[in-house]
Amino acid sequence: GAVVSQHPSWVICKSGTSVKIECRSLDFQATTMFWYRQFPKQSLMLMATSNEGSKATYEQGVEKDKFLINHASLTLSTLTVTSAHPEDSSFYICSAPTLAGAKNIQYFGAGTRLSVL
């Protein structure tokens, strides 16, 4: 199956700093990617849709200036958590859909655990 690589897998940062998370589709092109956050024992919450060559679309309640998304190529989307605070500590996951065999299936990265001190 298709592979989505997410980096880093774990990051610890000080409050007030910014953190960048990368999401790459390794063997397919993705004009669209999705970013989620997940708190312990909860489901994935969609944060935004990353669109190659255009602005991201954010879900209601997600601050676009706080969570900067860039999708500069067909295989790479980045999420930057700006001026991170402890409440931003969470598990962040990206995904990319592929139309392999006409099936639209989401392939997910392994996730990034962000801990803000």
Sign of CA dihedral 69, 60, 108, 90: positive
Strand partners, 115: 12
Q: Does 108 bind other proteins (CB under 8 A)?
A: yes
Instruction: Pick the binder of other proteins from 11, 13, 45, 62 (CB under 8 A).
Output: 45
Interface with other proteins (CB under 8 A), residue total 29
Shortest distance, position 83 Cβ to other proteins, whole Å: 25
- Based on its alpha-carbon atoms, the radius of gyration of the chain, rounded to whole angstroms, reads 14
Q: Which stretch binds other proteins (CB under 8 A): 13-21, 62-70, 80-88, 106-114?
A: 106-114
Q: Does 76 bind other proteins (CB under 8 A)?
A: no
Q: Does 66 bind other proteins (CB under 8 A)?
A: no
Nearest 5°: the CA angle 108, 20, 23 is: 25
Q: Does 114 bind other proteins (CB under 8 A)?
A: no
Nearest 5°: the CA angle 52, 2, 46 is: 55
Helix (H) / strand (E) element for 10: namely strand 10-13
What is the rounded distance in angstroms from the CA atom of residue 83 to the CA atom of residue 64?
13
Shortest distance, position 57 Cβ to other proteins, whole Å: 9
Residues within the interface to other proteins (CB under 8 A): 1, 4, 6, 31-32, 34, 36, 43-46, 49, 91, 93-95, 97, 99, 102-111, 113
